[in-house]
């Protein structure tokens, strides 16, 4: 649920629920090394974080040893701490040097421990039977440091103002400019000409140190000096068809496996020596491409969505054209023409000017009917999915799925619980006590 971040996040992910229930990812006290963390509602979380890892801040509340340089008062200045990480889901900040001591850590004493005096034993117990861990500090108890002088002349931002947030394509995240709206002391830092406030620069990101290559990594020198592709002689390709080796499209299905090529697959997997065959080595990736490709990749999802949209557009155009063809086959409203030529007047149509429909009107009416039916099917599918139903192709409709059964069972259990509660309230009997007026029909 709540996670510490030692970097500047890209957006407002901390304002979203990761889990449907706030108790799902909550650490339990019985788990060693974890403690229950308080859940902060979305409306109470800080939206624009102006304190990020790498900033220098001062602590305004807490022990004097953590706030002041002389550990007593602000006469000699405030301590300046560096932000180590932030917990945006709980509005907490972790500072370097601000920690608590946790006892209960047992370490066997050395053999010479029992020959030491009392002071040396107490010092060893203090260092080896306790463990320090970072103590979280609330966001509102910190103030940014603009000028760290390690003394009473340090300048801090008492109040912060920000510009409008915008997305930076260079950084790949949402960013804004922060200003010091109120200072703890005058400063010589130049003001921003537009806002007439002191700008507060963001901390620079730490440089990434190169990581040593592991045994499984491919080193650049090895890649340049090693030949990884072995091609067959050019005359060997004349014996094969291009369609057997290369697919015209990445999503196209490979050729059907005959009995001989199925034996190739078996030999390729079970007999490693057969992999040295250039023909088998070139043919196998073609048949494994579909099997090893991600099933729910974004490209496949977009392709399926485009195909469904194209099918719907074609079906919509066909419905409009079929309606026009049927209208023309019926004689283009001939029955209405005969009614107009006759002298018979209907009471329902008295005062209404009648005319024959055009092709555009017939097509428009058919498309409107098609869109209404498609919207109804979409609502039906959405409601069925919400109720946990699944589509059965054999029955041609929606049937109850496992999720729907679980929801129905939960609903019935909830109804029974409510009925039992109502029954208890109806049969409630009160015991009369001092200074109480209990109705006669509710007395024990």
CATH number for the domain harbouring residue 103: 2.30.30.30
Residue 112 has pLDDT above 60, yes or no: yes
Q: Within a domain: residue 214?
A: no
User: Residue 370: pLDDT band by 50, 70, 90 thresholds?
Assistant: very high
The whole domain housing 282 covers 235-292
Mean pLDDT of 263-272: 65
Residues 159 and 246 in one domain: no
In this structure, are 172 and 62 located in the same domain?
yes
Separation of alpha carbons 45 and 22, rounded Å? 14
Which residue from 242, 327, 256, 239 is spatially nearest to 290, judged by alpha carbons?
256
Separation of alpha carbons 134 and 99, rounded Å: 4
What residues contact residue 214 under an 8 Å CB cut-off, 6+ apart?
A: none
Instruction: Give domain status of residue 2, yes or no.
Output: no
Task: Give the least confident one: 74-78, 309-313, 362-366.
Answer: 74-78
* pLDDT of 254: 46
Within a domain: 227: no
Cα separation, 320 vs 438, in Å, equals 74
Do residue 277 and residue 422 come from a single domain?
Answer: no
Residue 314 lies in a domain: yes
pLDDT at residue 248, rounded to an integer:
41
Residues 161 and 242 in one domain: no
What is the per-residue pLDDT across 329-360, written as a single tens digit (0 to 9) for each? 888 877 776 666 665 555 666 666 777 888 99
Per residue in 119-162, pLDDT tens?
888 888 777 776 777 888 999 999 999 888 888 888 999 999 99
Is 115 part of a structural domain of the chain? yes
Q: Are residues 17 and 70 in the same domain?
A: yes
> Which range, of 177-191, 261-275, 402-416, averages the lowest pLDDT?
261-275
**Residues 105 and 24 reside in one and the same domain:** yes
Regarding predicted confidence, which is higher, 395 or 177?
A: 177
Whole-number Å distance between alpha carbons of 353 and 416: 62
SS3 210: coil
Q: Which residues contact 198 (CB under 8 A, 6 or more apart)?
A: 146, 157, 179, 180, 183, 187, 189, 191, 192
Q: Please check whether residues 25 and 114 belong to one and the same domain.
A: yes
Task: Look up residue 345 and give its two tokens.
Answer: 């007047």
Statement to judge: residues 313 and 358 lie in one domain = yes
Last residue of a domain, one of 155, 183, 200: 200
Task: Retrieve residue 346's tokens.
Answer: 């209907």
Task: Assign 363 a pLDDT band (cuts: 50, 70, 90).
Answer: very high
Task: Determine, yes or no, domain membership for 336.
Answer: yes
State the pLDDT at residue 242: 46
User: Angle of helix 259-270 relative to helix 278-292, nearest 10 degrees?
Assistant: 90
Environment class of 364 (CB within 10 Å of its CB; exposed 0-12, middle 13-18, buried 19+): middle
pLDDT tens for 45-93 read: 888 889 989 899 999 988 888 888 888 888 888 889 999 989 888 899 9
Residue 128 shares a structural domain with residue 25: yes
Q: 40 and 50 share a domain?
A: yes
- Report pTM: 0.46
Whether residue 221 lies inside any domain: the answer is no
Around Cβ 308, how many Cβ atoms within 10 Å?
A: 10
State the total domains in the chain. Answer: 4
Indicate if 29 and 95 belong to the same structural domain.
yes
- The verdict on 287 and 321 lying in the same domain is no
pLDDT at res. 311: 92
Residue 420, helix vs strand vs coil: helix
- The verdict on residue 409 lying in a domain is yes
User: Which of the listed residues 292, 307, 325 is the one where a domain comes to its end?
Assistant: 292
């Amino acid at each position: 649920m709540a996670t510490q971040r030692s970097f500047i996040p890209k957006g407002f992910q901390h304002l979203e629920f990761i889990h449907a229930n706030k108790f799902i990812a909550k650490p339990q006290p019985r788990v060693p090394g974890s403690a229950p963390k308080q859940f902060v509602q979305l409306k109470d979380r800080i939206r624009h974080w102006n304190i990020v890892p790498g900033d220098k801040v001062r602590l305004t509340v807490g022990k004097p040893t953590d706030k002041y340089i002389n550990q007593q008062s602000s006469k000699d200045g405030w301590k300046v701490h560096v932000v180590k990480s932030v917990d945006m889901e709980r509005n907490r900040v972790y500072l370097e040097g601000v920690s608590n001591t946790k006892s209960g850590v047992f370490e066997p004493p050395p053999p010479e421990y029992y020959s030491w005096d009392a002071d040396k034993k107490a010092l060893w117990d203090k260092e080896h039977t306790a463990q320090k861990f970072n103590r979280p500090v609330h966001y509102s108890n910190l103030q940014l440091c603009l000028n760290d002088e390690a003394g009473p002349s340090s300048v801090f931002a008492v109040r912060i103002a920000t510009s409008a947030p915008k997305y930076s394509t260079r950084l790949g995240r949402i960013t804004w400019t922060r200003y010091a709206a109120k200072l703890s002391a005058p400063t010589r830092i130049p003001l921003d000409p537009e806002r007439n406030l002191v700008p507060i620069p963001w901390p620079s990101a730490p440089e990434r140190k190169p990581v040593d290559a592991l045994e499984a990594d491919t080193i650049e020198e090895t890649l340049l000096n090693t030949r990884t592709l072995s091609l067959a002689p050019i005359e060997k390709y004349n014996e094969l068809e291009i369609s057997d080796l290369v697919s015209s499209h990445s999503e196209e299905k490979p050729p059907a496996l005959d009995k001989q090529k199925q034996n190739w697959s078996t030999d390729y997997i079970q007999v490693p020596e057969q992999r040295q065959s250039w023909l088998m080595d070139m043919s196998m990736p073609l048949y494994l491409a579909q099997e090893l490709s991600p099933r729910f990749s974004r490209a496949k999802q977009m392709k399926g969505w485009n195909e469904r949209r194209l099918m719907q557009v074609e079906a919509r155009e066909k419905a409009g054209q079929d309606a026009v063809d049927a209208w023309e086959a019926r004689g283009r409203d001939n029955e209405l023409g005969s009614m107009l030529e006759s002298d018979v007047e209907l009471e329902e149509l008295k005062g209404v000017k009648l005319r024959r429909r055009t092709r555009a009107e017939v097509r428009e009416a058919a498309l409107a009917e098609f869109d209404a039916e498609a919207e109804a099917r979409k609502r039906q599918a959405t409601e069925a999915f919400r109720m946990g139903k699944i589509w059965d192709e054999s029955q041609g409709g929606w049937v109850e799925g496992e999720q729907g059964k679980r929801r129905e069972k939960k609903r019935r259990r909830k109804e029974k619980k409510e009925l039992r509660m109502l029954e208890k309230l109806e049969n409630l009997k009160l015991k009369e006590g001092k200074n109480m007026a209990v109705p006669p029909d509710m007395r024990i």
